[in-house]
Structure 1
Amino acid sequence: MKRRDTPAAVLFDRDGTLVADVPYNGDPGRVRLLPGARRAVDLLRAAGIATGVVSNQSGVGRGLISDAAVRRVNARADELLGGLGVWVYCPHTPDAGCECRKPRPGLVLRAAEALGQAPGDCVVIGDIAADVRAGRAAGARAILVANAATRPEEAAAEPDAAADLLTAVRSLLPPDGGERT
């Protein structure tokens, strides 16, 4: 992965990128960080790069979980990650036609605005094509971090991919990595 200019903000997908994907999770007790997630956020924080989360949560629109449950799960993940700048999510079903559901750009645009950043100064990191397409549709750079849920054809077609979350984040940092030892 080629290093580019340091972004002003990094926006992560939640499920499958930062935390283990538990479908329609409304229970904060089931939130588990994925390997390297806390370290990745810490590195960005140390480098002065804003962070946020953009997440589709169609379970709300399907009536499977409540907005309050999503907020509680997000709060638990935020606590485990040491605090991110913004959390935005789409509560709509895939057929709702909203502008916020990834791969549309709405969530990325809202998060960038909330962080006071231009979308073009942001990077979106996610585990499926909808994540990277949403970032690019908003004018941001996007990086795919494939996992078991990533379709092989998506991973094969993605020119900007990383083997894992830490590798993706380190590729965005200045040469000193922003790491403090």
Structure 2
Amino acid sequence: KAGKPRYPLTARQPAVCMDWNEAKAYVEWLSKKTGKSYHMVSEAQREYAARGGSKGSFPFPMDEGKPYSIAKHANTYGPEDGFSYTAPAGSYSPNDFGIYDAHGNVYEWTADCETSNYNGAPTDGSAWLAGDCTWKMIRGNDWTEAPIFSRSGNRNSRQPDVRGDWLGFRVARDL
């Protein structure tokens, strides 16, 4: 069912062009296939992992002498980062938690329902399943957007049937 991106993919490119239900089905398949429990990340898990222990908007410095440029740390629009579309996984250094590609490259589906802000969200890291569940939250930023939108807390929402070569997902394993 997944769509096709407008650029060539390699085995190291992020999985894209899958809607929310397809991403969820993949996670369920992975759990069954491996015998281990996996889940789609919640907004809280995604932001915590992206921050990598930092308190600021970005877990890395802006490129020296270039306002709002993060080409050394993330794949966003423009040629400065060396990629016209998505970057292969692991093209940039991991953050202090060892998480790769949490800024730029592709937005990521989360398990959360759409809410206009994050006030009142669960404090245990679980997905927020209140609000408008006909829309799902996405986190991160993608290769088509300005670097300033790659901040750790950037959030948007989309209807669950949306697919795009700018939208992927991240899985987490239950321990």
Higher relative CO (Cα under 8 Å, sequence separation at least 6) belongs to 2
| Higher fraction of helix | 1
With normalisation by structure 1, the TM-score equals 0.24
* TM-score where L is the length of structure 2: 0.25
